[in-house]
């Protein structure tokens, strides 16, 4: 018997699953690191293989057809299985040289991890660390990282999680700013998009009518503005206490303390090299951000 059905190309299905999740060719292209025409060709190839129209092609978005919704649901399951296989393989692989990818908040990556990489490399020359400082959480289920350091308790039930530190905050400014009458003090803060952060909520609670005169989306920008004498900024103590230009200001309302979490999938965590890196991260972060009782 002759079977003339076309075989499905896995890459076509992968591109379609990303399009289904992101909702547009341009968004899918950005995530995949290709141009939108490539995404379009891949989806068209899958449609031809299945003899189904999966996407309605509109100017600014690409909504799924009913058939596309059904196929996308199955594609999500296949992608999840593929990533699970990749994670398991990384956990089982034995190699003299290993790459372990770490996702962490930018300040943690730059000020807590990076300064200690040299000592780690001397102790474990066969393990290469790849640290990504990103404000958004890496998707561990899509293998965007092997390990993730997060500032809130991970909600994914499958993850192996460990509380490795407690990040204390304080209010910091130059000595000249600290000498001003408290009523004259101005403030540096995150932009409004990050008003939900505990340290931002606390900062706004102590303003007492005093102005925020500069906003920055990251701690490094806030620290530099404070160093320049612009005003006072709320920042982690591991940044403020180690800055020779800044001093901690007295406050009546205690600043927040945020737990620091380390997360990984169990199959990745079985790798001896990954476990070595997990121990390293817990040690260096625990020294600068000691756990509360």
**Which pLDDT band holds residue 4 (cuts at 50, 70, 90)?**
very low
Per-residue pLDDT reduced to its tens digit, 140-157: 877 889 999 999 998 888
| % of the chain at pLDDT higher than 90 | 56
- Angle made by CA atoms 88, 272, 101, in degrees to the nearest 5: 65
How would you class 293 by CB atoms within 10 Å of its CB: exposed for 0-12, middle for 13-18, buried for 19 or more? Answer: exposed
Supply the pTM of this predicted model.
0.69
| Per-residue pLDDT tens over the stretch 244-274 | 999 999 999 999 999 999 999 888 888 899 9
Domains of the chain, earliest start first: 10-91 (1.10.10.10), 98-164+262-288 (3.40.190.10), 167-257 (3.40.190.10)
User: Which candidate, 113, 133, 22, 148, places its Cα nearest to that of 76?
Assistant: 22
């Amino acid at each position: 018997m002759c079977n003339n059905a076309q075989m499905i190309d896995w890459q076509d299905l992968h591109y379609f699953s990303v399009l289904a999740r992101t909702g547009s060719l341009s968004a899918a292209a950005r995530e995949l690191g290709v141009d939108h025409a490539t995404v379009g060709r891949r989806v068209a190839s899958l449609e031809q293989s299945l003899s189904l129209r999966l996407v309605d092609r509109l100017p600014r978005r690409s909504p799924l057809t009913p058939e596309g919704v059904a196929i996308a649901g199955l594609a999500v399951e296949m992608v999840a299985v593929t990533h699970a296989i990749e994670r398991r393989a990384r956990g089982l692989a034995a190699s003299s040289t290993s790459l372990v990818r770490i996702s962490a908040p930018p300040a943690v990556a730059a000020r807590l991890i990076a300064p200690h990489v040299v000592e780690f490399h001397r102790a474990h020359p066969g393990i290469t660390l790849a640290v990504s400082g990103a404000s958004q959480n890496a998707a561990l289920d899509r293998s965007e990282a092997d390990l993730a350091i997060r500032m809130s308790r991970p909600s994914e039930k499958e993850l192996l999680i460990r509380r490795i530190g407690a990040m204390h905050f304080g209010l910091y400014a130059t000595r000249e700013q600290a000498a001003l009458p408290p009523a004259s003090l101005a403030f540096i803060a995150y932009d409004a998009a990050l008003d939900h952060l505990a340290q931002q909520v606390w900062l706004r609670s102590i303003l007492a009518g005093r102005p925020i005169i500069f906003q920055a989306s990251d701690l490094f920008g806030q620290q530099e503005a404070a160093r320049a004498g612009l005003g006072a900024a709320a920042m982690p103590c591991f940044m403020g206490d180690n800055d020779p230009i800044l001093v901690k200001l007295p406050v009546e309302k205690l600043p927040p303390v945020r737990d620091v979490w380390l997360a990984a999938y169990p199959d990745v965590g079985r790798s001896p090299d990954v476990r070595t890196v997990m121990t390293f991260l817990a040690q260096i972060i625990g020294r600068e951000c000691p756990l509360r009782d």
